[in-house]
Structure 1
Amino acid sequence: MPVPAHPAAWPVGARLARCCVGASALAASLIVMGAAQAQVLRCTDPATGKVTYTDGSCSSGAAAREVEPRKTPEQIRQEREQAAEALERKQERLQTEAEQQRRDDAREARERRAQPRRDAAPDPSQSASCRNARRQLQEVTDTLGRGMVDEAVRLDAAQRQADQACLTPAQYLDAERARANRPAYATPYPAAPGYAQPYYAPPVVVVPPRPAPSRPTEITQCNVFRCYDRQGNIHPR
């Protein structure tokens, strides 16, 4: 797996390991330097004025000045202890930061899972077009029973418009299948003499016999407005 070039793009564990290794190297170098620089002399060449530093002795004729006095074994031990303590504190701080980062990442992941899906389809039954279609359907329903010959056509058109506006594509397909299987509202008769268009015969009132008790109606499917039984009959919800 390729490793990103910039350390900021590294995983938290890799950044922690890198920082810890760097801190360890720094502490070790400080300890070594403390031992190596037990005494530092500043040497000045009287002829050229060139200045050099050494932990040994200056060359013959050079002016020597002590920059860092020789440290006692106790001072060296204290410096090593201080460097080790500094390294331990830095490692603890890095571990604390890494743990906090892991908690933050886990919290953000939970929040993302809890948010609703942005690409979820809206509910068509709550749309403005659905409310308008329902209102138009109610207006057509209120005019039924007044003897107008196009009642069935207007009612079917208003119902289709409401289905298209308020149902999902799958629900609308089910409604169309049920509509195709049910009997037509009315059957047009041939045109009467002198008329170019067919006409609808007036309804004949027939008093039906008392129906015999029947089994409970078996509902096969429902949509927002009504239900259909196995015989194709319509029932309000």
Structure 2
Amino acid sequence: MKPRTYSLIAGLCVAFLGTLAPLGAQAQVVRCTDAATGKVTYTDGNCASGTTVREVEARKTPQEIQQEREEAAEALARKQQRLQAEATAAETESRRNAQHNQAAPAKTTDYTRSPECARSRRNLDVVLSSVTGGGYEQKLRVEAAQRQVDLDCLGPQGYAEVEKSRPRPSTTTPVVVVPPPYYPVRPTPVQPPVPTPAPKKFTQCNVFRCYDAQGNSYPR
């Protein structure tokens, strides 16, 4: 039994025994009423003059006083036993609860059903719906919203595992490729082909000239 329990029982015993000491003096109780003021007092002796006397409790014999003391002592012993039994039962129950808490597995928290997880998912949907291009700043916003979802929906331990497997950003300075200036290409003019004259058809030739069907003459 713990020291605090012993001190509590001891204090009750002392207080109860203190009530047994004056039994001999309080064997008779008299009520005194002042006739002028109506003030009422109680005493185990005699009332003052001018007061009305009424016996509340008659004087007991030594045998009756001894019997009351024995009954009070027995009641005190029974009360002490009951308090000891209650203290022992409370200490046993406390030990049993402590052993049960040590043996019981730790309760896991379902972070996916938490209001923080739901709020982070909605925020990620808003960020994704507002992305209109592939800018660097928008990419950072999406990554930050995704990290918040991982933290709120996976918990601290799960988030740490995801961060270990996440690729680290490169520390080298990114190479910016500047495209060359654009110059419009002028189309090259295409020369139409020179028509080839059709061979002339001669109908008659002599030693010096040839003649076609239209009667034109050509030197031979």
Pair member with larger Rg: 2
Q: Under a length normalisation based on structure 2, what TM-score does the superposition of the two structures give?
A: 0.44
